Amino acid sequence: MKTQSETGCFGGVQGVYSHASAATGTDMTFGLFLPPQAAQGKVPLLWYLSGLTCTHENAMTKAAAQGWAAEAGIALVFPDTSPRGPEVADDAAFDMGQGAGFYVNATEAPWAPHFRMWDYLTVDLTRLLFDNFPLDEGRQAITGHSMGGHGALTIAMGLPGRFASVSAFSPITNPTQSDWGRKQFTAYLGSDEGAWAAHDATLLMRARGFEGPVLVDQGGADQFLDLLRPEALAEAMAARRQDSVLRIQPGYDHSYFFVASFMRDHVEFHAKALARA
């Protein structure tokens, strides 16, 4: 692991680091905020997964999360959204290829050799973080925006017992029924739709739900609302009687102005769950 930068931030440290990943076969970069409480011992970890076209840097600089995390004594990790480099497959469209990993392990050419973001997050980066930083592995939570909201929900439900809570900002909730999903899943996972179900939050909610609390915020003026399909997840959560809140926020779009406006609510939501973990 290489330290790219470390900067004082709200009494803690905002770092950027790079490392070689066995899962992706590439070098990967991530941001990690350690609150001031980390100087005295291990702290809980909140994962933040970003959306299409983003790198580790977008949420790190735009989500307004570090101040609230410092107040709560929670670390924040900001992973990248895909493998990158000249040897990594790409696509001219913004919603495929580099910057658009969709948090799956690709099985199809030309994506399979490097696009293994599920394993990267849940194995490679997980081990590196807990082996090298003062983080409490028994207290983790996860959130994300858009494609990252999809990733947060599916990873949380796909790994029972790992996360105390899950939240999302404007997540892609039903990708098997959306153009933000069907296109990418066909390319990454093949045409067998049975292989897609493990990466659809609505289907996972119907099948198994989540053992902790769920919070979803969706902008009412989101320009991508028809692609995100929040009503599908809402129906699945209601049918399962999931411990959950889904809020439509009038006047907010898909941008980081929306994310930053409600970040305090999400950090405090996770802080309460992590305190019980």
Residues classed as catalytic = 146, 222, 254
Residue type at 208 in one-letter notation:
R
CB neighbour class for 179 (10 Å; exposed up to 12, middle 13-18, buried from 19): exposed
Angular region, 12: left φ>0, alpha ψ -120 to 50, beta rest: beta
Question: What string of DSSP letters covers 24-57?
Answer: TSSEEEEEEEE-GGGGTS-EEEEEEE--TT--TH
Distance CA 55, CA 79 (A): 8
What amino acid is encoded at 117 in this protein? M
Omega cis (within 30) before 110:
yes
Distance CA 38, CA 122 (A): 22
